[in-house]
Amino acid sequence: MKKVILFFLLFINTAIVFSQNNFAKKLSDAALSLTKDKVMYDPTYFIISYPNGDVPAGKGVCTDVVIRAYRKLNIDLQREVHEDMLKHFDLYPKQWGLKKTDTNIDHRRVLNLMKYFSRFGIVKSITADASNYIPGDIVCWNLVGGITHIGIVVNKKSADNKRYLLVHNIGNGQELSDCLFSFKIIGHYAFKK
């Protein structure tokens, strides 16, 4: 009986790991596909539809990369973040002086995504070891002056083959970059709904 239980637990664990790895690969592929789209960095506040709203094609910021990659996997972070903020508004950052949720912008803020991922994803270690950052991971940085940034680790390696690259938008559109340790990392997550 112990062998059957042990086999069953091993089977379940293997299935979970395979499912997570498969999802991470799909998220990596989705992020990479975004680099083919010409997008101009545009931090304008847009009124967008809800759910599944998106800023105009050809425009966006770093959070829009993450939102669009997850949307390719049928996960609407606009709706997910909004629904959680409706129930737990007090847990989310208040830097913007908000008194209520806003479906146009809440999911487009790095700090709100960090809170959401920490509540519903896996919070991973922040280290200086590149091997800890794998395809499908979400990385958040503090640039300068409290400006935050976010990107997705993808299955492409740096020229020296020492670390994975990231897809993000820091001003040049949705691009693939070797930027993992270019800024101070303040968040590291894996999220699969």
Lookup: tokens for 68: 């669009």
The 3-state DSSP class for residue 100 equals coil
Does the structure show a pLDDT above 50 at 5? no
pLDDT of residue 114: 98
pLDDT of residue 96: 82
Question: The domain that contains 159 carries what CATH number?
Answer: 3.90.1720.10
Work out the mean pLDDT of the chain and round it to a whole number. 91
9-13, 89-93, 100-104, 126-130: least confidently modelled range:
9-13
pTM above threshold 0.85: yes
Measured at the CA of 184, the angle between CA 128 and CA 42, to 5 degrees, comes to: 135
- The one-character DSSP state at 119 is H
Range of the domain at 142: 2-190
List, for residues 84-106, the tens digit of each pLDDT value: 999 999 999 988 888 899 999 99
Lookup: tokens for 19: 């499912």
Lookup: tokens for 21: 């790895």
| Short-list 151, 149, 121, 131, CA closest to 31 | 151
Does the structure show a pLDDT above 60 at 14? no
Q: What is the mean pLDDT of residues 111-120?
A: 98
List, for residues 47-89, the tens digit of each pLDDT value: 999 999 999 999 999 999 999 999 999 999 999 999 999 999 9
The structural domain count of the chain equals 1
Contact 90, 101 (CB under 8 A): no
Lookup: tokens for 142: 């503090």
The 3-state DSSP class for residue 20 equals helix
Report in angstroms the alpha-carbon separations of 56 from 31, 78, 103: 18, 15, 15
